[in-house]
A and B are shown apart, each in its own frame.
Chain A
Amino acid sequence: MKRTRIDFAPPGLRRTVFRAPPTLIYALPGVLTLCIPALFMTQSYFEQQEEVRDLQAALAARSAPAPVATPPAPKVAVAPAQAGAVNAAILQLNLPWRDLAAALGEATPNTIALLALEPDAKRRTVRISAEARSSDEMLAYITRLQAEEWFSSVVLLRHEVMEQDPNRPLRFQVSVQWEAS
């Protein structure tokens, strides 16, 4: 027959423990015996978990893109003369050829024959060698060069009449300086 559960005692932990079958204590050694390997298995489980976490962290670190290490630029001792030459070359390369050609193209009429252009990037000047039929055309050309906004100064360096030439052209050289951009 089943137990008749009539009890006026106030509920509590002691009452619950008391109600448990006393024969359960015979199972205590068995439970403790099972607990020992369970303890070791639990410890092993946590160690394996930690190992897995370490492996995952290592794997993540390996699969991630390696940081780009920028090697420090080697310090190369440059001689002053070499540095000057390099700077001069850079200036030469940085010449505003396009603006210079456009300005000269606009200012040069058909009556003027351009013979040579000798730019000097360092001084921002260009020496123009040209021929004209007469001195008036030469002066008109210089005036037109002076009118160009791109040029800051126009200086006639020399001029001479080419006697060997049957047309006797007037050969002259003009130094033009352009404004810094």
Chain B
Amino acid sequence: MANYESSDNKLKISYPRIIVDIVSILAKGVDTRGNKIPLHNLEHYYQMRKSDTISTSAIASQVPISTATAASIKSIESNGKKEEPTLNRDEESELVEVLDKITDRGKKDIQKSIAKLDRRDIERIKDLCKNYNKLQKYSKLITDADNLQEFKTALENETGRKLSSHQLQRAANSIRKAKLYMENVLDGKFIPHGSYGINHTKHNLEYGYLIVRLMQPSKRRTMSTTTKERT
């Protein structure tokens, strides 16, 4: 809310809707589409709604959400999946190289898997691979230090802000499972659950990467793409 005025216009348009959904969850435990959301997941839900609005707004803005159903939400998602991947040849070979190191799969297998991914997943994996060195460094700290103090200091120096113990735990958990995350994305194992169409395990792990900036939020990515397009 602090950045509301400077927010993307598409997000501003959808903000009332997100707020009503949050109010509905607080009052009834379900959003206005009837999806049951546990209260402990409310912050994550809120963040996801914001990032989903940015990434699907071009299509979603044309759909009156009062009549949105699971089918229409799914069609929004699948429309997103039809977008062309944004990797050029160099980027792809770099990505395959790193994924080969991490997953120990054949390069051809990795290329096949990447070809099946949607643009957003490719961007997410690309972010993690770009930060592979950091990922290794943090993994080592978590394993060696046996307490989170050194890990915390390293992360705070890197991000330039204080992290709560909850954020630290979330980040550590995501970093520990980075290999698993990438393998599951490559294999398409994160199957969306419920009518809202997200996989909570996947999104929880991504939240951990976002906290420590191993992954870029969709909003920032969209903005930088727009800026690139303009220049």
Q: Do A and B come from one complex?
A: no
